[in-house]
Structure formats: structure tokens, C-alpha cells
Structure 1
Amino acid sequence: MGDALAPVIGLFLLAPFVGEYLLGNLGFGQLWLGLLLAPLYGCGAVLVRELGRRFAGWPTMFLLAAAYALIEEGPVDQLLWNPSYAGQDLLHGPSYLPALGMSVELTQAILALHAVWSICVPIAIVETFVPARRTTPWLGRTGLTVVFVLFTLGATLVFLGNYSEEHFIASPAQLAGITVVIALLVVAALRVRPRSGPVAGVAPSPWLVGVVSLLGTSLYWGPSVLITAGWYEWIGVSVWCLLVVSGVLLVSRWSRGQGWDQRHRFALAAGATLTYVWTAFPVKPELGGPDLAGDVVFGAVAIIVLGLASSRTRAEPRRTTPS
């Protein structure tokens, strides 16, 4: 029983670790918050992974991860619309859209941070450790029900805690609009079909995939945390669009190449993880001041986990696996 649930527990813990602590948003002084965030982050990642493995694999997971991002920062904690979230005005920059009461740059950041780092990166890393169960569901119907209930309770707890601090609720129109978008993403995720088509050449080296992932995610997230001047905001919006489109096209082509396997998927996740390792240092924590010790320790833990996962891929026979 313990071995069967090990990857579920691993994903449950890794999602909040990457999503908040490795990011640099929370430090040693907020370790207790992990207990409150794990049901939201961890159960969210498990639900995305389990549904993905029951439908079209990674295409389903990416769409559900985007839906998760909007759920967390929309109805749950209201960040998408709150002009004074955690004492900061993240909305009213150059890309603020008054008609929607939302910021283009902030919405893009939320989608990137949660869809990529909070959900997909932890899934890819944990799946690397369980090759025999990588593409199969880890939970049955009862387990899924329990995880969904915990996710709902976690989301409710975060909402109530946030409301007690912020006393902010978005307008009915804003909540209705985001609900429609989330529903469309979920429907698309469950209707998308596994990719098919001819092999597109030979897959590149996993090392090249990892380097491109590190450079691409650093090109987006690095300037976002290093350049705080308003003049960069629309440039950042353009960079996000360019990287998303080019990344989707590039990975889609690579993943249809002969020899594409878990080594490459892990390399994508590892590159993105290493971006968080270095960008955590200039990130200003949401609570408290800079936490250099936390950044160093959390970064070291992440590198150790990546090293263990990498050794696991090297021990596997070379074969192409389904997405």
C-alpha cells in the first residue's frame, strides 16, 4: 500500500515545494504554510495527473494545469482582480485592462507559474521515479474522490484565509467570466486526442532539451523578477507570447521524433526547475524579508532531487514511451 501511494505522496509534497518555496515566494519562516497549501497545490497536481493519464496524457495535463492556475488565482485567492493583494498593487501597470479589471502581464505570469512550475514540472519529476507506472493511473475511483474532496477543502481554506486578510471579492461578472474560461479549458482537456502522425526525424539529445528549457524559462522569468520598471511590462507580455508559441511548436515537433522518451520530458522539467533555483534569490517573498538561507537550502534540495531523478533515467533501457 505504501509503495502504491508513494508517487501520489511525492507529488502531493513536491507541488507546493516547487510552487511556493523553490520560487522564493515563501521561506523558512513560512514552512507551516505548506501544511495549508499542500491540499490545494498537491491535490490539484494529483488530479491533473490522474485525469491526464486517463485521457490524452500531456496535452490533457497542460490544459488542466492552465485551468488550475486560473482556479487558484481567480475564485480561490482573487489575485487576478485584487488591486492590493498582500499589500501590493500588481494590477495597475501598463498592461492593465480597465474593461476586465485585469492585467495581461499578471494573468500571463499566473498561467506560467502554476501551469508549468506548480503542476507540470512536479508531475514530470515524480513520474521519472516510477517508470513501471509512469503512464498509468495511480489511484482508483475512491482515491480520486478523496483527493477531490481534499482539494475542495484546501481551496476553501485558502479562500477563507485570504478573505479574512484581504476582505476582497471580485465582481459577479469577473467571477462568471473566469468560470466560463475554466470550463472551456476543462472541456478541451477532456476532449483533446493523443497526438498522432509521422515521426518527425530524430529527437535531440536530452541535454540539448534541458539547456533549451533552462534558457527559455530563464528568458521569461529572469527579466520578470529583475526588471521592475513599467517600461518592460509590454515587452514581457510579448516575450511570454513568443516563448509560449515557439515552445509549444518546438516541443510538439521534438516529441514526435524517434527516440523521444522520459529522459527528454525530465530534461524539460529539470531546465525549468533550475530557472527557479537561480531566480529565487532576487524574488521578494510575499511574507517577510529576503531569505537567503531558505533560497540556498531549497535550491540544494531541488538539485538533489533532480540528481536522483536523472540517475533513474540513466538506469532505464532506452525506449520511446507514450506521452
Structure 2
Amino acid sequence: MPAIPAPAALPRSRRRWAAVAGLLVLSPISAEYLIGYGESTNRPLELLAGLLILAPLYGTVAVLIREITRRTGRGWPTILLLSAAFGVIQAGLIDQSLFHHEVDAGDPDWATEPQHTLIPGLGVDASNLLNYVGGHVIWSFAAPIAVVESCAARIADRRWLGPAGIGVMVVLWALGAVLVFSDAASDSTAGPAQLSGAAVVAVALIVAAFTVRPTSGRSSAKAPSWWLGGGVTGVAWCASQLLPATWVGTTVNVVAMAVLGWLLLRWSRSPGWGRRHVLAAAGSALVVRAGLSFLVEPLGGVDGAVKYAVNAAMLAGVAALLLLAARRLRRGEPSTC
């Protein structure tokens, strides 16, 4: 009996568009849905409809950050700095959540906690600044980019879009940003100085993204196993989400993230570091995000059984996606980055 031929691989153009579509969807899911705080958590159709706004707002930025970085031959420092810049743009200029301090008495306790780390004169809460901007860096952009690139490892370092595709992403982002801005503007309490300051910081981060150069030296120490690296990063992600919103908690959080950044930089320069390590670090962030959703009380009245079912479905989806990415990496795709 003749052997049945294996299914043909997707044409390169289709693989690129599949990767773009995956990142467009994973970015907003990671940013907004995995943690399960939304009042539509128990309404799957509303979650799907929400992607029509969130994918242009988050997903297009993730795609553009990845595309710009790969086209210019740069690496993760550029991705992280551009992610921070768009985190400031998102939280400081578009939805202006950095400057919104009013609370609804009917919200859960986590949403009505007093702000203990308000920075005098700036009208910005340090804990919220770390949570919003740092959250965008990790969960909105960097982790989704790493996971999708692992799923598409054969084209991870290549361009995914042409000029027309980039133009479409820019237009979609602009439309989403205008829609969210117009909705948030009526409740905005940000003054001109605060908005100008956010714009200056965002521009500075963008300039730094194209100025920073990766160090050329290599570390003599061998990189840890990918599962150990994923475990360390997972503990750090979990701590960053659970530390209290106080000056002590915020300070510990900043120090922990700085130490983690130093470790990742050191490991990435060590022999044996590869795409599995990147996937482990990014995947642990998604797992932590989805796992902690079981502890979060959503906004609005959400039935407990439905909430936990949605949380479990999200966690299972993350596990399936990471298994797929790991399988792709084991099938002989490039292992270094």
C-alpha cells in the first residue's frame, strides 16, 4: 500500500499572514482577557466582539513592533523599549488610565483600593504606572510576540508584511486609538502638562529603541535549562502581580524586574541560549496571567461557575498554544536567537 504523503506546508505568504493573524488575536487576549477582570467575562460573544476594538488597539501595535524590529535587524532590547513607548502612549495618551483616579463604589475591592503611591506634582500613581506600562510591555506585546514567533520559527526573523500590510496595520491602529480616545476623553482628568510629559517620555523611549546596541560580548557561563529559566521568570511574573500596591511593594517589584532583566540579558549571552528559553520566559508570563485569573473578582456581577469555566478555558488555550509552539521548535526549526 503506498504511503500517504504528508500535508504540504503552507505557502510562505500564507504562513506569514497566519502568524500576523495569530499575533493580532493573542496580543489583546493576553492584555485584557487572560486575567479575567472584565464584566463580560461570562459572555463569550461579547468577548469575541470586543476583539474588533482590541485587536486594532493592541494587536496591530504588536505586529508593527515585531515588524520594525526584524526589518532593522535589531533584537529584544528594541522590542522592549518600543513596547514601553506604546505602553506610555496607550495608558498616558489614548485611554489616559494613568491619570484617572476616580473609583466606582460598586467595583470589587481591588478596583477601589486607595492609591498609596501617588507621586506629588505628577498626578501619577507609581504602582499603577508600573502595572499599566509594565503590563503592556510584558503581556500586551513582548510575550505574545515571542510565543507567535515560536509557533512560526522558520520565518521568525523575516518580514511578515509588505508596505501595504504595514499601512493597513497603521490605519487600523489609528481607528482603534481614536475610538478609545473619544470614549475616554469625556472622563479624562489629565492636564496639558501631564499629556505633554507622557508624549515626551514616549518619544524618548522610541529614540532609545533605535539607539541602543546589543552588547557584543559573550558570557562564559552556560545558560540554564529552559525549564529552569521558565520557572524563575514565572516566579518573578507572579510576584509582580501579587505584591501590594504600596511603596514597599512597588519598590520590591521594580528591584525584582531589574534583577530579572539582568538575568535574562546575562543568560541570552551565554552558550546554549535559544528559542526554547525565549518561549519558556514568555510562556510562563501567559500561564501566570491565566492562572491568577481564578483569584480575580471581575467587574460587575459575574456568575462564579461561568467565571471559573471561562478561566479554565483560557488556561487550557494557553497550554495548548505553548505545546504547539514547543512542538514547532522541536521539529528542527532554528534553535538560536
TM-score, reference length from structure 2:
0.87
Out of 64, 86, 105, which is 1:47 matched to?
A: 64
SS of residue paired to 2:98: coil
Deviates more, 1:208-217 or 1:27-36: 27-36
Counterpart of 2:169?
147
Q: Which amino acid is 1:159 matched to?
A: F
Counterpart of 2:178?
156
Larger Rg: 2
Deviates more, 1:253-262 or 1:294-303: 294-303
Counterpart CA distance in 2 for 1:130 and 1:268 is 17
Contact between 1:86 and 1:286, CA under 8 Å: does it hold in 2? no
Q: Which amino acid is 2:58 matched to?
A: Y
Deviates more, 1:85-94 or 1:255-264: 85-94
Counterpart of 1:99?
121
Counterpart CA distance in 1 for 2:58 and 2:30 is 10
Counterpart of 2:8?
none
Output the aligned Cα RMSD. 1.9
Counterpart of 2:132?
110
Cα shift at 1:317: 5.6
Q: Which amino acid is 2:174 matched to?
A: T
Counterpart of 2:79?
61
Out of 279, 282, 294, which is 1:266 matched to?
A: 279
Cα shift at 1:141: 2.1
User: Residues 233-267 of structure 1: CA distance to partner in whole angstroms, max 9, x if unpaired?
Assistant: 11221121111110111000000011111000000
Cα shift at 1:161: 2.6
Q: Unaligned stretches of 5+ in structure 1?
A: 225-231
Which structure 2 residues correspond to residues 229-308 of structure 1 after superposition, within 5 A?
A: 233-289=246-302, 291-308=307-324
Counterpart of 2:16?
4
Which structure 2 residues correspond to residues 166-177 of structure 1 after superposition, within 5 A?
A: 167-177=187-197
Counterpart of 1:74?
92
Contact between 2:154 and 2:333, CA under 8 Å: does it hold in 1? no
Tell whether 2:232 aligns with 1:215: no
Aligned CA distance change for structure 1 residues 68 and 285 (closer, same or farther; 3 Å): farther
Matched residue pairs, number? 312
Which structure 2 residues correspond to residues 175-190 of structure 1 after superposition, within 5 A?
A: 175-190=195-210
| TM superposition outliers: structure 1 runs of 4+ over 4 Å | 85-92
Q: Which amino acid is 2:234 matched to?
A: L
Contact between 1:222 and 1:279, CA under 8 Å: does it hold in 2? no
Question: What is the identity percentage for the equivalent residue pairs of Structure 1 and Structure 2?
Answer: 36
Aligned CA distance change for structure 1 residues 304 and 80 (closer, same or farther; 3 Å): same
Counterpart of 1:228?
none
Contact between 1:37 and 1:158, CA under 8 Å: does it hold in 2? no
Q: Which amino acid is 2:91 matched to?
A: E
Which structure 2 residues correspond to residues 189-208 of structure 1 after superposition, within 5 A?
A: 189-208=209-228
Q: Which amino acid is 1:120 matched to?
A: A
Aligned CA distance change for structure 1 residues 253 and 39 (closer, same or farther; 3 Å): same
Q: Unaligned stretches of 5+ in structure 2?
A: 1-12
Tell whether 2:102 aligns with 1:84: yes
Tell whether 2:146 aligns with 1:130: no
Contact between 2:91 and 2:133, CA under 8 Å: does it hold in 1? no
Aligned CA distance change for structure 1 residues 280 and 19 (closer, same or farther; 3 Å): same
SS of residue paired to 1:142: helix
Counterpart CA distance in 2 for 1:307 and 1:314 is 10
Counterpart CA distance in 1 for 2:223 and 2:57 is 36
Counterpart CA distance in 2 for 1:285 and 1:198 is 46
SS of residue paired to 1:281: helix
Counterpart CA distance in 2 for 1:36 and 1:71 is 17
